[in-house]
């Protein structure tokens, strides 16, 4: 009589197995989370995305507007370096104020950013700040449970949003996709596994859902740039590097066994290298390209300023040119 009763009691306990796991995640990650208050000039501009898209989506512009509230950041280096999304600290800023997990309030300086991966690095005057252990990315797979951690603006504790890894090989190979719900507020914080180990930083939430580059708030299509990519970028970000996306300056589409160029924009990298309308891209940086999406991905893996060899077909000839990648102009 006693044994079945005990078994039933233990089964009930197991029903909360996930809940206690999440409690562990919360407790172990809270120490590395910071709240960021951004003091900025009122934003006149519409959220990112063409004006036409915004017009078509009428009343939903309301959802895209940035609310006046603190955002989340993550300590990435004990010597006072804090990561958040570029969009969180975009605009004309009057000040950035950070609240650490121990309650200290400090002013922060925006040191550097990378627009393409939506990363921004802040510096505060503090030492020995707690950071998160990292997760081995090689055995991360689609279906692994993930948790997006955000700072609770009330100042006590953190917020959690749970999901799974939805896909690998996103953001030109530097990020993963997941379905933990991201909104203004928790984006810029860490994405961790069920042991609280860092997978990456949640990013790319700034608009209505205009496409793969910005799926919109709360869509369930969320991105996180991996901690490896962040680690690679840290040295130059610490030095003050502020990079816009690398840009070739072409318009084209799939066709003719490669990418057919409709326009090589005047004054930009491709045109300067000698690319003409009608050319068909065959190779970029020594790698074959067959679609525009593929070419775009290969460009985005580079940095502005990189010199890249291009192979293209013009009529009967096959040409090899060298382009120096520029920066994506405003509004592109």
Partner 1 sequence: MYALALASALWALQPAEAAEAFQKRVKACAEKASKASVFIGGGSGFIISDDGYMLTNFHVSSTEAKETQVQLMDGRRLPAKKVAADATGDVALLKIECKEPLPYVEFGDSDALEPGQYVMAIGNPFRAGDAATGEKRYPTVTLGVVSGIHRHQNNYRDAIQTDAAVNPGNSGGMLVTLDAKVVGINGQIATRYMNRVNSGVGFAIPSVQIQRFLPAFKEAEGDGRVERGAIKGLSFDPWNRATIPWGTPKIAGIEPGSMADKAGFKAGDLVVGIEKYDIASIRRYEGVLCTYPEGSDVKVRVKRGEETLELKVTLERARSSRPVGEGPPAGSGWPGFTAEDADGGVRVIEVYPNSPAADAGIQPDDLVTRYGGRSIKTLKGRTGLYSSMGRHKPGDTIVVHVKRGEEEFDVDLRLAEAPTED
Contact between residue 195 and residue 134 where contact means Cβ atoms under 8 Å apart: no
Interface pick for partner 1 out of 28, 131, 159, 294 (rule CB under 8 A): 294
Pull the structure tokens for residue 58: 């009428």
Closer residue to partner 1 in complex, CB, 36/248 = 248
DSSP per residue, 103-151: S-EEEEEEEEEETTTTEEEEE-S--S---PPBPPSTT--TT-EEEEEEE
For 110, the token pair is 């925006």
Interface stretch with partner 1, choices 7-15, 39-47, 129-137, 310-318 (CB under 8 A): 7-15
**How many CB atoms within 10 Å of residue 39?**
9
**Is 286 near partner 1 (CB under 8 A)?**
no
Report whether 221 contacts 208 (CB < 8 A). Answer: no
Closest to partner 1 by CB, 53 or 115: 53
30, 106, 115, 194: which one binds partner 1 (CB under 8 A): 194
Nearer to partner 1, 70 or 150 (CB): 150
Residue 218 Cβ, how far from partner 1 at the closest point, in Å? 7
257: contact with partner 1 by CB under 8 A: no
Closest CB 109 distance from partner 1, rounded Å? 34
Nearer to partner 1, 6 or 102 (CB): 6
Q: Find the binding residues for partner 1 in span 109-128 (CB under 8 A).
A: none
For partner 1, the closer of residues 56 and 231 by Cβ is 56
Query: Would you list the DSSP string of 43-56?
Result: P-SPPSS-HHHHHH
Q: How far apart are CA 211 and CA 223, in angstroms?
A: 13
- 80 DSSP assignment: T
Segment near partner 1 (CB under 8 A), from 42-50, 289-297, 305-313, 315-323? 289-297
Identify the CA nearest to 184 among candidates 151, 157, 156, 154.
151
Q: Of 163 and 189, which has the nearer Cβ to partner 1? A: 163
Q: Is 296 in the site for partner 1 (CB under 8 A)?
A: yes
Distance, CA of 92 to CA of 206 (rounded, Å) = 16
Residue count of the chain = 332
Selection from 236, 252, 234 nearest residue 295 by Cα: 252
**Which 127-186 residues touch partner 1, going by CB under 8 A?**
141-145, 163-170, 172-173, 177, 179, 181
* The binder of partner 1 chosen from 11, 102, 128, 286 (CB under 8 A): 11
Asked if 28 is part of the footprint of partner 1 (rule: CB under 8 A), the reply reads: no
**Residue whose CB is less far from partner 1, 15 or 92:** 15
Distance CA(304)–CA(237), nearest Å, equals 14
Burial 112-131 (b: 16+ CB within 10 A, else e): bbbbbbbbbbbbbebeebee
CB atoms within 10 A of CB 305: 11
- Residue pair 307/323 in contact (Cβ under 8 Å)? The answer is yes
Question: Which of these ranges, 69-77, 130-138, 216-224, 272-280, lies near partner 1 under the rule CB under 8 A?
Answer: 216-224
| 67 is a site residue for partner 1 (CB under 8 A) | no
Residues forming the site for partner 1 (CB under 8 A): 3-4, 6-7, 10-11, 14, 17-18, 20-21, 24, 52-53, 55-60, 62-63, 141-145, 163-170, 172-173, 177, 179, 181, 194-195, 208-209, 211-212, 215-221, 293-294, 296-298, 301
């Amino acid at each position: 009589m006693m044994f079945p009763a005990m078994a039933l009691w233990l089964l009930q306990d197991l029903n909360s197995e996930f809940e206690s796991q999440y409690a562990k995640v919360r407790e172990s990650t809270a120490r590395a989370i910071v709240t960021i208050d951004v003091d900025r000039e009122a934003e006149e501009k519409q959220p990112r995305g063409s004006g036409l898209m915004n017009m078509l989506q009428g009343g939903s512009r309301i959802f895209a507007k940035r609310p006046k509230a603190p955002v989340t950041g993550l300590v990435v280096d004990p010597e006072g370096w804090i990561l958040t999304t570029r969009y969180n600290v975009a605009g004309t800023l009057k000040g950035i104020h950070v609240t650490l997990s121990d309650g200290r309030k400090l002013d922060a300086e925006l040191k550097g950013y990378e627009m393409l991966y939506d990363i921004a690095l802040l510096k505060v005057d503090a030492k020995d700040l707690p950071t998160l252990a990292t997760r081995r990315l090689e055995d991360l797979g689609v279906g692994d449970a993930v948790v997006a951690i955000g700072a609770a603006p009330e100042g006590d504790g953190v917020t959690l949003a749970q999901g799974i890894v939805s896909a690998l090989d996103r953001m030109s190979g530097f990020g993963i996709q997941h379905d933990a719900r991201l909104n203004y507020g928790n984006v810029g914080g860490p994405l961790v596994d069920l042991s609280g180990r860092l997978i990456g930083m949640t990013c790319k939430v700034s608009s209505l859902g205009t496409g793969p580059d910005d799926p919109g708030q709360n869509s369930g299509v969320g991105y996180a740039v991996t901690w490896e990519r962040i680690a690679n970028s840290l040295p130059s970000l610490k030095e003050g590097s502020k990079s816009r996306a690398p840009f070739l300056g072409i318009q084209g589409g799939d066709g003719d066994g490669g990418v057919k160029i409709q326009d090589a924009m005047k004054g930009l990298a491709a045109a300067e290298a000698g690319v003409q309308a009608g050319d068909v891209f065959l190779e970029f940086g020594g790698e074959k390209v067959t679609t525009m999406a593929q070419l775009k991905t290969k460009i985005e893996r580079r940095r502005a300023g990189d010199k890249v060899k291009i192979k293209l077909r013009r009529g009967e000839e096959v040409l090899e040119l060298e382009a120096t990648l520029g920066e994506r102009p405003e509004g592109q």
